[in-house]
Amino acid sequence: MTTVAKSPATPAGRRRAFGSVAGFLALCFGAFLFVFPFYYMVVGALQAEPDVSISGAFPPPGELSLTNFHTINERVPLLRALFNSVVYTGGVILGTLIIGILAGYALSRLRWRGRSLVLNLVLLTLIIPFQLLMIPMYVLIVRGWGLADSYLGMILPFLVNSTAVFIFRQFFMQLPEDMLDAARIDGASELRILTQIVLPLSKPAILTAALITFIGPWNEFLWPFLVTKKAEMQPLAVALANYISSVAASTANPFGAILAGAVVLAVPAVVLFVIFQRYFVESETSTSLKE
């Protein structure tokens, strides 16, 4: 309460200072609630014997070990699962960048009939939940095309991230028309304009689109879970989930190994986010609120 006493003696000033302190405390409390589970996940992963008491949340550094990582690696081949996650995620990012950039360019800088209709379709895809399509998609891809336990089967339904199409479209719209027209008068084809002029200027949009596309397949559970039954084809999220549901009943204290797997799954996304968070935040505001 000393902060209140030090502030200007007017009632308004006093209220404002009190409001700031209350706001700051709310932010700190919120941050604690958000960060603590992550801290606890790492601590639990590093304790050979999970200690669930309150003091167990703050173990002396000497008691930490990598035992749990060895345990989970014996049950779930982490490198193989990570490799599968990388191929799955990489395929989706590649498809999104190639097809999404072409679509974004057509929806912003090329004139053709039906353009606004397709643009509305893009927005519509953003609200149709994948879960609704789960059963027919399974019949089509797994039963019809026989793509169970294949990377293609995992990738295809996610091949183009429509949010990324929208990000490209919004970014390309801002480029000056004169610059593109000058190239057109020089006789450059649209594909050449796109690759030689537009793309070199679009690095921030490409990075934003790649990052937000990354968190989709990297974290996705339901679809790859349906498609992959063989352990050696499962991405990490699926392999870990299967471990969780199979040991939940059988092992006395399975948490250490589960948490070690969770750390391996969470770290790539968290690190990318912390390094590139500026790009994540931009996508947020530009896709949801403009237009």
Partner 1 sequence: MRSARYIGYLFILPYLTFLGLFLAFPLGFAVWMSFYDYFFAAPGAQVERPFVGLGNYHDLLLRDETFRTTLGNIFVFIAVNVPLTVALALVLAAALNARLPGQMFFRTSYYLPYVTASVAVVAVWGYLFFSEGLVNHILGNLAPHPSWLVNEFWAMIVIALLVTWKQLGYYVLLYLAALQSIPRHLYEAADVDGAGALGKFWNVTVPGLRPVTMLVVILSTIIGANLFTEPYLLTNGGGPVNQTLSPILYMYQIGIEQADAGYAAAIGVTMAIVVLAIAAAQRFVLERE
Q: Which residues in 129-158 contact partner 1 (CB under 8 A)?
A: 129-140, 143, 156-157
Q: Which of 3, 4, 13, 40 binds partner 1 (CB under 8 A)?
A: 40
Q: Which of 8, 13, 35, 196 binds partner 1 (CB under 8 A)?
A: 35
The yes or no reply on residue 99 touching partner 1 (CB under 8 A) is yes
DSSP string across 59-79: --GGGB-SHHHHHHHHHS-HH
CB 217 within 8 A of CB 238: no
Count the site residues for partner 1 by CB under 8 A: 96
We find the least distance from the C-beta atom of residue 133 to partner 1, in angstroms, to be 4
We find the least distance from the C-beta atom of residue 61 to partner 1, in angstroms, to be 20
We find the least distance from the C-beta atom of residue 197 to partner 1, in angstroms, to be 15
CB 126 within 8 A of CB 162: yes
* Contact track, partner 1, 164-183, x by CB under 8 A: -x------------------
Question: Whole-angstrom Cα distance, residue 173 to residue 52?
Answer: 54
Q: Within positions 47 to 66, which residues make up the interface with partner 1, using CB under 8 A?
A: 50, 52-54, 56-57
Helix (H, G, I), strand (E, B) or coil at 52: coil
We find the least distance from the C-beta atom of residue 288 to partner 1, in angstroms, to be 6
Tokens (6 digits) for 248: 């939940």
Residues 6+ apart with CB under 8 A from 166: 104, 122, 123, 126, 287
Question: Whole-angstrom Cα distance, residue 128 to residue 235?
Answer: 24
Q: Within positions 256 to 285, which residues make up the interface with partner 1, using CB under 8 A?
A: 258-259, 261-263, 265-266, 269-270, 272-274, 277, 280-281, 284-285
Question: 27 or 66, CB closer to partner 1?
Answer: 27
The yes or no reply on residue 222 touching partner 1 (CB under 8 A) is yes
The yes or no reply on residue 255 touching partner 1 (CB under 8 A) is yes
Helix (H, G, I), strand (E, B) or coil at 83: helix
DSSP-assigned letter for residue 55: G
Question: 83 or 280, CB closer to partner 1?
Answer: 280
Q: Which of 175, 190, 197, 247 binds partner 1 (CB under 8 A)?
A: 190
In the chain, which ranges are continuous DSSP H helix? 2-6, 11-46, 67-75, 78-108, 115-127, 130-138, 151-155, 162-173, 177-185, 190-193, 199-201, 203-219, 222-227, 236-250, 255-275, 277-289
Please name which of 289, 285, 286 lies closest in space to residue 173, comparing C-alpha atoms. 286
The yes or no reply on residue 112 touching partner 1 (CB under 8 A) is yes
Q: Which of 31, 48, 179, 182 binds partner 1 (CB under 8 A)?
A: 31
The yes or no reply on residue 201 touching partner 1 (CB under 8 A) is no
